[in-house]
Structure 1
């Protein structure tokens, strides 16, 4: 009987403990319109993301949303903050970051 009481008490204690890897939101903003969007997100683990997109008309029949943004995160293995800025448009996704490899000049 004592074992059962101790087991139930330890089980209850384990359930009451806060989660180890829970991440909270520090800041969150968003604005969406028919011609574009804008958002920002910052979390308690140090990660951040921001983006803005605008509708771009290429000609009378083709249009797409052109996006400019950035994000950063703290790597769990080395504790460094890595940042990427990017453009996504008619030329595709174009990321830039100090840690990304760069293609040789032709």
Structure 2
């Protein structure tokens, strides 16, 4: 929401806002956390989805790193569905998707 405050002889406050999009509701949700790692997934009523799992990887004495992999998808303003898969580990975050540039 944008708010504009104009000062002059009269102080006028106006708030301009775009029409609110309907709020999405969660239609499914699952999660599990254990000593070995975690995983979760959910889906919303607007078709958005996300899933992720992770675990600790031992790189050496006193050196652990969290390895995570997952995916998400959503419908863009243009009506297309965008999907991304990713991993994140000692090599950083590595997303992949048809709409993302290839490096």
Shorter chain as normaliser: what TM range? 0.7 to 0.9
Q: Which residue of 2 aligns with 1:50?
A: 51
Which runs of structure 1 show a deviation greater than 4 angstroms over 4 or more consecutive aligned residues?
none
- Correspondence 1:92 to 2:92: yes
How far 1:65 moved relative to its partner? Answer: 1.3
Query: 1:65-80 residue pairs with structure 2 within 5 A?
Result: 65-75=66-76, 77-80=77-80
Unaligned runs of 5+ in 2: 1-19
CA positional deviation for 1:35: 2.1
TM-score (norm 2): 0.78
Question: Which position in structure 1 is the counterpart of 2:3?
Answer: none
**Relative to total residues, which structure has the larger helix share, 1 or 2?**
1
Residues 51-82 of structure 1, C-alpha deviations (whole Å, 9 max, x = no match): 0101100001110210010000001x211000
Q: Which runs of no fewer than 5 residues in structure 1 stay unpaired?
A: 1-18
**Number of equivalences:** 84
Query: Pairwise CA RMSD of aligned residues?
Result: 1.2
